[in-house]
Amino acid sequence: MTSYLISPDPKDVRLTERVSGVDHNGRPVDTTVTVERPLTLYLNDQEIVTMMTIGDYPDCLAIGFLLNQNMLQRDDIVTAIDYDAEIETVVVRTERETDYEQKLKKKTRTSGCAVGTVFGDVMEKFEDITLDPSAELKTSWLYALSKIINTTPSLYLEAGAIHGCVLCERDIPLIYMEDVGRHNAVDKIAGYMFLNGIKPKGKMFYTTGRLTSEMVIKAVQMEIPILISRSGFTAWGVDLARQANLTLIGRARGKRFLALAGESRINFDAKLDTVDDEPEGVHRKAASTKKAD
């Protein structure tokens, strides 16, 4: 197993609960379910948003959200991040004075799970970003990453009802974050990269969620040129990826995948007869159950 910088902790007692119910035969069962809780974010003295999240890495989530909403700049100096679990609040403080009253009035609800929301002109920097044209994705890396990520212990395997996102380099997964909304998982990775000085050069992004416009926009804003998913695409997501020259790969299961943008970065080096396929309709086991006493 690879050594992640950050990976899910499905045994963290804060993140799941055991709940009783009945199964399709009417028999009593206990099952593990994912916990979601509110987190209210302040930037200096201004309330920005209340997010639904599993509650881990609130500092990374806060910073990543502000970065991806263009409320925090890459050269901003963060003087403090104050998290209070009791009142479910995180405050990010910066040297620069901030006022986003007008931007907060312009709100768009996105397709993200747990009701994703973006503020202001989400595309305001999109056209100014040039993704690395020399970036490469070897198919041997893709197959190796899929195998490692899909067998990594996670809340998805433990309880389901959650999305995962992974920052990768070559065939090595580095940072694996989960949350009830894939937009939160992306923001956590963006925040971790900012706080730890991790640059996007040579990086790829893997997600379990759909390749929507929001996912594409965030990948581009993070300057990551390759985005991979087990799931499918939306038409606007594909259009934006082509506009930005983002390599967009979806339906990556077993030896199969589909690239709908940025295909020139793909190096088809893997020998397909050595790659195990994943039968259609087969999903990973999630949410183990047992009979109640």
**Residue 172: helix, strand or coil by DSSP?**
strand
DSSP secondary structure code for residue 243 in this structure: H
The rounded mean pLDDT for the chain is 87
Contact assessment for residue 32 and residue 288, using Cβ atoms and an 8 Å cutoff: yes
CA dist., res. 291 & res. 293, Å (int): 6
Confidence grade of residue 62 (pLDDT, cut at 50, 70, 90) = very high
Residue of higher predicted confidence among 187 and 214: 187
Return d(Cα 174, Cα 5) in angstroms, integer: 5
User: DSSP E strands: which ranges in the chain?
Assistant: 16-22, 28-34, 37-43, 46-53, 78-84, 89-94, 107-109, 117-119, 137-138, 163-169, 172-179, 203-207, 226-229, 247-253, 256-261, 266-267, 289-291
- DSSP state letters, 198-220: ---TTEEEEESS-B-HHHHHHHH
Interval 189-211: pLDDT, tens: 999 999 999 999 999 999 988 99
Task: Choose from 260-264, 273-277, 279-283 the range with maximum mean pLDDT.
Answer: 260-264
Confidence class for position 289, pLDDT limits 50, 70, 90? very low
The pLDDT score that the predictor gives to residue 106 is 61
- Residues 6 or more apart whose CB falls under 8 angstroms from that of 134 comprise none
Calculate mean pLDDT across residues 258-279. Answer: 91
What pLDDT was estimated at residue 158?
Answer: 84
Mean of pLDDT values over 279-288: 45
pLDDT of residue 123: 66
Which domains does the chain carry?
1-293 (3.40.140.10)
- In the prediction, which pLDDT does 117 show? 54
> And the tokens for 144?
């190796």
Question: How confident is residue 111, by pLDDT bands cut at 50, 70 and 90?
Answer: very low
Tell me which amino acid residue 256 is. Answer: R
Percent of the chain scored above 90 by pLDDT? 70
The Cα 237–Cα 140 span in angstroms is 25
d(CA 204, CA 171): 10
pLDDT of residue 277: 79
Q: Which residues pair with 167 in a beta bridge?
A: 175, 205
Q: Band of the pLDDT at 118, cuts 50, 70, 90?
A: low
Q: 125-136: per-residue pLDDT in tens?
A: 777 889 999 999
Q: 0.75 cut: is pTM over it?
A: yes
- Note the residue count of the chain: 293
Mean pLDDT along residues 69-96? 95
